[in-house]
Amino acid sequence: MLQGIQLVKSARGQKIIDNVDVQLEPGQISVIIGPSGSGKTTLIKLLALLEKPDSGKIVIDDHQYQFPAERNELPPWPEITVVFQQLFLWPHLTLLQNIKLPLMLRSKWHRSVERRASVAPTSNASTTNVQPVEQRRLDDLIELFDMQSFVQRYPNEASLGQRQRAALVRALVLQPRYLLLDEITSSLDVEQISIILSYLKRLSKKGIGVLIVTHLLNFAREAADRVIFMDAGRIIESGGREVLDSPSQERVKKFLSVIESAS
């Protein structure tokens, strides 16, 4: 279980995360909805231990990280991993190289592990350093997201939607246990979104915990096991999928009706 307990984070004298408790179960998809600037990205960075909260506690399975921290403990990346709003693809590598680099480096460490698995050569057999099992998983993902035509491009030669898929696949091939996705569907078409949606559902059935920030109500309705509303650094309402249709808070009702009418 991934858990944030009484998280507080200030920036420039202002609380941008204000006493937030949040819980992400393995095998569940949680969706965060909230207006711009409400602290969604910040919360994800705290949960992924990329930024330190001023106070509070992060629990990742049986590991506890208490803040303010008295010692520096290395977070369990990429067991918990993030796909960021701005994607952060490395500009000097092609999309495919972006996806493969972390895999190859990890294989170097754990070369012995999946060694015996043997797989027939695939379309992307150019690589030598990725283990066959991972190579096949990668090929499957590239095919699933229809990426063959552009994986050889550099990030600045690819469209935003293409980059979003590449960044997503870069995280997916690492098989994280907790996957945090920050608004990564903004430039994808309906078909791509539904492909991602069903893939994420499959992942969560395998016991992966998924957290998604999105503005797409339909996406949330389809995917969410839990829904979390954020506003001004606080969680103002949370609950099951039904919260989307009958929120108790006025603020949430208003926000939902606005994005409903916009889409």
Partner 1 sequence: MYVSGGNDEHIIGRRIGGALRDDCRKTQSNAGIMSVFDILITYQSAFANGLLTTFQLALMIWLIGLTGGSLLGSIGARWKIFVGIPSRVISFTLSGVPILVFLFWLHYPLQQLLGVVIDPFITAALTLSIINVFAVADVIRGVLLDFPSQYIIAGKVCGMTSSQILVHIQLPIVLRQTVPVLLMIQVNMLQATLFASLISVNEIFRVAQQINSHIYKPVEVYTALGLLFLAICLPLNGLALWLKAKFTRDFSER
Helix (H, G, I), strand (E, B) or coil at 226: strand
* Beta carbon nearer to partner 1, 101 or 119: 101
Contact call for residues 138 and 130 (beta carbons, < 8 A): yes
For 185, phi then psi, to 5°, come to -105, 10
Size of the site for Mg ion (CB under 5 A): 2
Task: Single out the segment in contact with Mg ion by CB under 5 A; choices: 62-70, 78-86, 109-117, 255-263.
Answer: 78-86
Does 78 help bind partner 1 (rule: CB under 8 A)? Answer: yes
Query: DSSP letter string over 62-105?
Result: TEEEEES-SS-----TTTEEEE-TT----TTS-HHHHHHHHHHH
Does 41 help bind Mg ion (rule: CB under 5 A)? Answer: yes
Binding partner at 32 among partner 1, ligand ATP, Mg ion, none, C-beta below 5 to 8 Å by kind:
none
Binding mask 173-202 for partner 1 (x = CB under 8 A): -x----------------------------
* Beta carbon nearer to Mg ion, 138 or 213: 213
Helix (H, G, I), strand (E, B) or coil at 181: strand
Q: How far is CA 41 from CA 17, 33, 35, 169, 188, in A?
A: 10, 11, 11, 20, 20
User: C-beta of 173: minimal distance to partner 1 in Å?
Assistant: 10
User: C-beta of 92: minimal distance to partner 1 in Å?
Assistant: 5
β-strand partners of 31: 212, 227
Which residues of this protein are in contact with Mg ion, per CB under 5 A? 41, 85
